[in-house]
């Protein structure tokens, strides 16, 4: 291993325009990973200080797709801001809109009919599966395996079709309304979802046999990039990252919302904290989501799907929070109201932001391909970091 | 072939170039179609029947692109690298016996020649990476050198094992020794080397690593190094590296066919030798494509560990075993 | 550990008397505008179902680091650090959100600082994860976190000198 380091070093300090004089003197060089790079899945830049192929410092530089959603929130009323929330993390739009309608319902004390709550759970979990499928494909792509991506997208396509049928959109859903959901689900959706449940279980088994048990994949993930529970706590990392460190932290359990307390599901955890643990947590979560959907479909009550809500929502003055378990972890909306039609302050606490912030510490001394595996295992969505 | 020598040379030169070109173009098509099938999609369909003209369209597109010379590169080396990577690949074909009679140059040290020229392309890729003066390219260049050093050794040890069995370095003779039924192929000559299938697997793995094919495509590693040593190349400069990759795959598979699977020898005694040679060759090429679309990429140090800790000791053991077996029996 | 115990510890650690009113506004609104706590109890239990929080504490700006240590000691994780611009009152509010990864408790710690000179000590030494949150808050509000290792813009362009979430930011 020393040889390669020497090799790179010798080459790196040779005369070159792209390597500065300062780098000549030291033994490290700076590698700009991004903002356009295949492994960052978006416009994230990571400034790597490298010693050969070893990373001595990795400094993420976010902000390339910053849109200031929080300021937008201060300029429009609650209903107008609702579609914004689905554009933050484009892969788990349902969860994000859920958090925002949740905070408004909590503050304005709106009643949500039970049928609507069940529909929210069903669509949220479908969205979680589709988000994890995208992660699965993209993560394998990071590791140089091309084929699983297409398989994952094949399955995801079915979910998108189902959700398109009831919400009208395929990615940035704006389906939840203050006090319920905008459309009732029809028999076609229920039949399609049940059929999907049947199809998806053998597929998860297929992924396990084809991908998870592959020796190269195991070599690339096991014991790579351990992230301890303590590190997660210090950085506020949530979702599969903290569950991959053995802590069963799941907002659906710790701060129960919607009808999740009535449903029976397990929060998968793996104590190893390496890339494999995070990988397995997400794979098992898909199975749990299938269980949740099945139960919710079985218990789906009849009734209205949209409760009474005023045309223009006004929240009583005060400070309200609402957190949901999005596909990437804890997403919290904090709304501070001064009693007017538009919020005084909207704070969006995005999971990818905290998950990425530990990357600098976690990737210390790692080799480039392993660091990229760790970055992939964090499941970053760049607009979610930058908001 | 009973042509006057100058004509013969010219015919073979053109023939080899055409073969390399056609292979490069149509293996891209096969790879894209194959990848499509592996991934439950159709691959190219638009240009020509089943996308058969797609490689031509790609070539035209690549040729019409500007050859960008980024500021600060070493212009001579930068332009030289694509040529250096393709020319030796063509040279290698000069000794490959396609059939009993179709041998461009039947020389006694054919095997040595293939390996000597085969090693140049690695140096050329390194040169391209270095000349680009791009950090990704330099990392890739360093990777490819250490990868090549690591895999040349087990590959040559395996070939030495084989040479002890065959007793000649003339590829034509090696194939002739394997005549008459598939049990005479080197792959099945367990009497001389009981571990012959293992020997072949080592050869195959080394061939994947030497030609930078997945799962050992460390030099290109597009999700880590963007395009590795080729990052700064545009248009046909990039295309030539691609052609060379396929040419090298074909050479590697030809060698495997000649050394292990009896070259042009037919297993059942029908049809001309050229058919059998190409059949075996393309089956191996297909397996290389299959591997690429099935496995994720290994880590770089995993790749080196595999070579230094497993393949080299194993091939040394096979070498000892073979010499012992041949001495004793 | 329950929210009650935590509130108890808060009131022992941060007796309200030690918190000087930091208001600089002309009308002299007291520092704890949002949560009118009794003078002896800086921390108040709130109903999670109504507010999304189990405990809220309003502290003086100098006490936030000690509060972060307290949270750290009890195994809380940093959730977010953010600001609110109370233009009318001439104050900035900094809100530290914590969650407990095991028992799910949610705690919000608030501190108010004068708007003219928004300065508050950093908690990034206790929770390294606060580093980015504080940088973001500095971007958006211009709140200076004293002792912070690097307050260069995180989400805004690197040469940004404006603070868009201030209520008097016009966007020009």
- Three-state secondary structure along chain A? CHHHHHHHHHHHCCCCCCCCHHHHHCCCEEEEECCCCHHHCCCCEEEEEEECCEEEEEEEECCCCCCCHHHHHCCCCHHHHHHHHCCCCCCCHHHHHHHHHHHHHHHHCCCCCHHHHHHHHHHHHHHHHHHHHHHHHHHHHHCCCCHHHHHHHHHHHHHHHHHHHHHCCCCCCCCEECCEECCCCCHHHHHHHHHHHHHHHHHHHHHHHHHHCCHHHHHHHCCCCCCCHHHHHHHCCCCHHHHCCCCCCCHHHHCCCCCHHHCCCCCCCCCCCCHHHHHHHHHHHHHHHHHHHHHHHHHCCCCCCECCCCCCCCCCCEEEEEEEEECCEEEEEEEEECCCCCCCEEEEECHHHHHHHCHHHHCCCCEHHHHHHHHHHCCCCHHHHHC
pLDDT reported for residue A367: 85
Beta bridge partners of C80: C97
Chain B residues with beta carbon closer than 8 angstroms to that of A153: none
- Token digits of residue A381: 């969505």
pLDDT reported for residue B321: 86
pLDDT by residue, tens only, chain A of 387 residues: 444 554 444 444 333 334 444 444 567 888 888 788 877 777 888 888 888 778 888 888 888 888 889 888 888 888 889 899 988 888 889 999 999 999 998 888 888 899 999 999 999 999 999 999 999 999 988 888 888 888 999 899 999 999 998 988 888 888 998 888 888 888 889 999 999 999 999 999 989 888 888 888 888 888 888 888 888 898 989 989 999 898 989 888 888 888 888 888 888 999 888 899 999 999 999 999 999 999 999 988 888 888 887 878 888 888 888 999 999 989 999 999 988 888 998 999 999 999 998 898 888 888 888 888 888 898 888 888 888
From the list A38, A141, A154, the residue facing B40 with the nearest CB is A154
Please identify among residues 211-240 of chain A the ones whose CB lies closer than 8 Å to any CB of chain B: 214, 216-217, 219-220
Q: Which residues have CB under 8 Å from B149's CB, separation 6+?
A: none
Count of structural domains within chain B: 1
End-to-end CA distance of chain A: 40
Answer for the pair C97, A349: CB distance below 8 angstroms, yes or no.
Answer: yes
ipTM of model: 0.82
From the list A3, A37, A214, the residue facing B296 with the nearest CB is A214
CA gyration radius, chain B:
20
Q: How many beta-carbon contacts under 8 Å exist across A and C?
A: 114
Give φ, ψ of A146 to 5 degrees.
Answer: -90, -35
Q: Which CATH number applies to A69-385: 3.40.50.150, 3.30.450.70, 2.40.110.10, 1.10.645.10?
A: 1.10.645.10
Q: H or E element: which one contains B50?
A: none
Chain A residues with beta carbon closer than 8 angstroms to that of C85: 345
Q: What angle do CA A348, A352, A354 make, to 5 degrees?
A: 80
DSSP state of B307: I
Answer for the pair A382, A65: CB distance below 8 angstroms, yes or no.
Answer: yes
Answer for the pair A33, A39: CB distance below 8 angstroms, yes or no.
Answer: yes
CA gyration radius, chain C:
16
Mean pLDDT per block of 10 residues along chain B (329 residues) reads 75 84 86 86 84 87 85 82 85 82 78 85 84 84 85 88 84 80 76 80 88 79 78 83 86 88 77 83 89 84 84 89 81
Q: Which domain holds residue B215?
A: 69-328
- Token digits of residue A11: 């080459």
From the list C34, C75, C97, the residue facing A349 with the nearest CB is C97
Peptide bond into A272 cis (omega under 30): no
Distance between CA atoms of B275 and B23, rounded to whole angstroms? 16
Distance between CA atoms of A281 and A241, rounded to whole angstroms? 9
Angle, helices B54-64/B235-260, rounded to nearest 10 degrees: 140
From the list C52, C79, C157, the residue facing A322 with the nearest CB is C52
- Token digits of residue A347: 């704070």
pTM to 2 decimal places: 0.85
- Token digits of residue C21: 């009113």
Please identify among residues 345-374 of chain A the ones whose CB lies closer than 8 Å to any CB of chain C: 345, 347, 349, 353-354, 357-358, 361
pLDDT by residue, tens only, chain C of 172 residues: 677 777 777 777 776 644 444 444 444 344 444 444 444 567 777 777 777 788 888 888 888 888 888 888 888 899 899 999 888 888 889 999 999 888 888 888 888 888 888 889 999 888 888 899 999 999 888 898 888 888 888 888 888 888 888 888 876 6
Judge: A361–C128 Cβ closer than 8 Å, yes or no.
Answer: yes
Structural domain includes residue B151: yes
End-to-end CA distance of chain B: 40
Q: Which residues of C touch A (CB under 8 A)?
A: 34, 48-53, 75-80, 82, 84-85, 95, 97, 99-104, 106, 108, 127-129, 131-132, 140, 153-157, 164-165
pLDDT reported for residue A21: 45
Distance between CA atoms of A372 and A380, rounded to whole angstroms? 12
Q: H or E element: which one contains B30?
A: helix B5-38
Chain A residues with beta carbon closer than 8 angstroms to that of B145: 7
For A81-138, what is each residue's pLDDT tens digit? 989 998 888 888 999 999 999 999 888 888 889 999 999 999 999 999 999 999 999 9
Instruction: Locate the chain A residue with the closest alpha carbon to C164.
Output: A71
Structural domain includes residue B50: no
Structural domain includes residue B162: yes
Judge: B223–A144 Cβ closer than 8 Å, yes or no.
Answer: yes
Of the candidates A227, A63, A372, A378, the one whose C-alpha atom is nearest the C-alpha of residue C132 is: A63
pLDDT reported for residue C16: 62
Of the candidates B127, B202, B131, B107, the one whose C-alpha atom is nearest the C-alpha of residue B162 is: B202
Chain A residues with beta carbon closer than 8 angstroms to that of B72: 16-18
The whole-angstrom distance between B293's CA and the closest CA on chain A is 6
From the list A62, A71, A106, the residue facing C154 with the nearest CB is A62
pLDDT reported for residue B18: 86
Structural domain includes residue B48: no
Distance between CA atoms of B224 and B67, rounded to whole angstroms? 24
Distance between CA atoms of C32 and C20, rounded to whole angstroms? 11
Peptide bond into A35 cis (omega under 30): yes
DSSP state of B52: T
For B284-315, what is each residue's pLDDT tens digit? 999 988 888 888 888 878 888 888 888 889 98
Distance between CA atoms of A362 and A382, rounded to whole angstroms? 19
Give φ, ψ of A176 to 5 degrees.
Answer: -80, 140
Chain B residues with beta carbon closer than 8 angstroms to that of A8: 138-139, 142
DSSP state of C166: S
Judge: B299–A367 Cβ closer than 8 Å, yes or no.
Answer: yes
């Amino acid at each position: 291993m020393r040889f390669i380091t020497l090799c790179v070093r010798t080459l790196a300090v040779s005369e070159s325009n792209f390597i500065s004089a300062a780098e000549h003197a030291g033994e490290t060089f700076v590698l700009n990973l991004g903002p356009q790079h295949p492994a960052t899945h978006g416009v994230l830049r990571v400034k790597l200080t490298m010693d050969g192929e070893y990373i001595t410092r990795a400094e993420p530089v976010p902000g390339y797709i910053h849109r200031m959603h929080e300021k937008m929130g201060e300029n429009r009323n609650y209903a107008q801001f609702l579609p914004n929330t689905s554009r933050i993390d484009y892969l788990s739009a349902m969860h994000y809109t859920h958090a925002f309608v949740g905070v408004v319902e909590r503050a304005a004390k709106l009643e949500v009919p039970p049928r609507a709550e069940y529909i929210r759970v069903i669509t949220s979990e479908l969205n979680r599966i589709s988000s994890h499928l995208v992660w699965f494909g993209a993560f394998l792509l990071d590791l140089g395996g091309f084929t699983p991506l297409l398989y994952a997208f094949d399955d995801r396509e079915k979910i998108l079709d189902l959700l398109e049928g009831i919400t009208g959109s395929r990615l940035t859903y704006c389906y939840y309304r203050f006090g319920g959901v905008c459309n009732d689900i029809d028999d076609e959706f229920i039949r399609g979802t049940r059929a999907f449940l049947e199809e998806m279980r053998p597929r998860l088994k297929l992924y396990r046999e084809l991908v998870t048990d592959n020796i190269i994949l195991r070599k690339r993930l096991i014991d790579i990039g351990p992230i301890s529970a303590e590190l997660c706590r210090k950085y506020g990392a949530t979702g599969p990252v903290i569950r991959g460190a053995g802590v069963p932290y799941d907002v659906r359990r710790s701060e129960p919302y919607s009808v999740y307390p009535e449903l029976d599901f397990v929060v998968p955890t793996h104590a190893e904290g390496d890339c494999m643990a995070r990988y397995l947590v997400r794979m098992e979560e898909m199975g749990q989501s299938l269980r949740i959907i099945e139960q919710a479909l079985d218990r789906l009550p009849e009734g209205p799907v949209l409760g009474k809500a005023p045309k223009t929502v006004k929240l009583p003055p005060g400070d309200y929070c609402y957190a949901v378990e999005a596909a990437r972890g804890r997403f919290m909306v904090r709304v501070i109201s001064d009693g007017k039609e538009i919020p005084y302050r909207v704070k969006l606490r995005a999971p990818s932001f905290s998950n990425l912030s530990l990357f600098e510490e976690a990737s210390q001394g790692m080799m480039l391909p392993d660091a990229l595996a760790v970055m992939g295992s964090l499941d970053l969505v760049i607009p979610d970091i930058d908001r | 072939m009973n042509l006057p020598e100058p004509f013969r040379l010219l015919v073979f030169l053109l023939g080899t170039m055409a073969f390399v070109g056609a292979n490069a173009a149509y293996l891209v098509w096969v790879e894209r179609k194959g990848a499509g099938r592996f991934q439950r999609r159709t691959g190219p369909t638009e240009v020509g029947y089943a996308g058969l003209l797609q490689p031509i369209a790609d070539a035209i597109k690549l040729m019409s692109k500007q050859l960008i010379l980024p500021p600060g590169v070493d212009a001579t080396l930068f332009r030289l690298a694509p040529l250096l990577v393709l020319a030796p690949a063509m040279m290698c074909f000069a000794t490959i016996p396609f059939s009993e009679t179709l041998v461009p140059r039947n020389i006694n040290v054919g095997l040595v020649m293939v390996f000597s020229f085969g090693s140049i392309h690695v140096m050329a890729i390194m040169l391209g990476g270095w000349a680009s003066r791009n950090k990704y390219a330099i990392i890739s260049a360093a990777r490819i050198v250490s990868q090549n050093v690591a895999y040349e050794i087990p590959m040559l040890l395996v070939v030495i094992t084989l040479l002890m069995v065959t007793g000649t370095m003339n590829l034509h003779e090696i194939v002739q020794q394997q005549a008459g039924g598939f049990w005479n192929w080197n792959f099945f000559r367990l009497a001389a080397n009981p571990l012959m299938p293992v020997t072949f697997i080592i050869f195959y793995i080394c061939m994947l690593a030497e030609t930078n094919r997945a799962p050992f495509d460390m030099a290109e590693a597009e999700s880590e190094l963007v395009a590795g040593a080729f990052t700064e190349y545009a248009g046909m400069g990039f295309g030539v590296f691609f052609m060379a990759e396929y040419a090298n795959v074909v050479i590697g598979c030809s060698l495997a066919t000649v050394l292990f699977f009896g070259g042009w020898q037919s297993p059942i005694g029908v049809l001309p030798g050229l058919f059998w040679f190409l059949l075996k060759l393309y089956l191996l090429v297909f397996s290389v494509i299959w591997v690429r679309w099935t496995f994720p990429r290994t880590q770089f140090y995993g790749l080196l560990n595999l070579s230094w800790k497993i393949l080299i000791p194993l091939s040394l053991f096979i070498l000892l075993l073979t010499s012992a077996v041949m001495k004793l029996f | 550990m329950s929210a009650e115990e935590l509130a108890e510890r808060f009131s022992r650690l941060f007796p309200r008397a030690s918190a000087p009113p930091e208001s600089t506004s002309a009308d002299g609104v007291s520092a704890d505008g949002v949560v009118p706590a009794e003078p002896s109890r800086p921390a108040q239990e709130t109903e999670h179902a109504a507010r999304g929080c189990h405990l809220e504490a309003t502290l003086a700006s100098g006490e936030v680091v000690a509060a972060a240590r307290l949270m750290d000691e009890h195994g809380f994780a940093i959730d977010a650090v953010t600001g609110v611009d109370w233009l009318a009152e001439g104050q900035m509010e900094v809100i530290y959100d914590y969650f407990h990864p095991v028992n799910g408790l949610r705690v919000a710690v608030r501190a108010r600082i004068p708007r003219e000179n928004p300065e508050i000590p950093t908690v990034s030494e206790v929770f390294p994860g606060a580093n980015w949150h504080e940088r973001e808050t500095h971007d958006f509000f211009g709140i200076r976190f004293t002792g912070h290792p690097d307050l260069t813009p995180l989400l805004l362009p690197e040469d940004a000198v404006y603070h868009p979430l201030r209520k008097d930011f016009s966007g020009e």
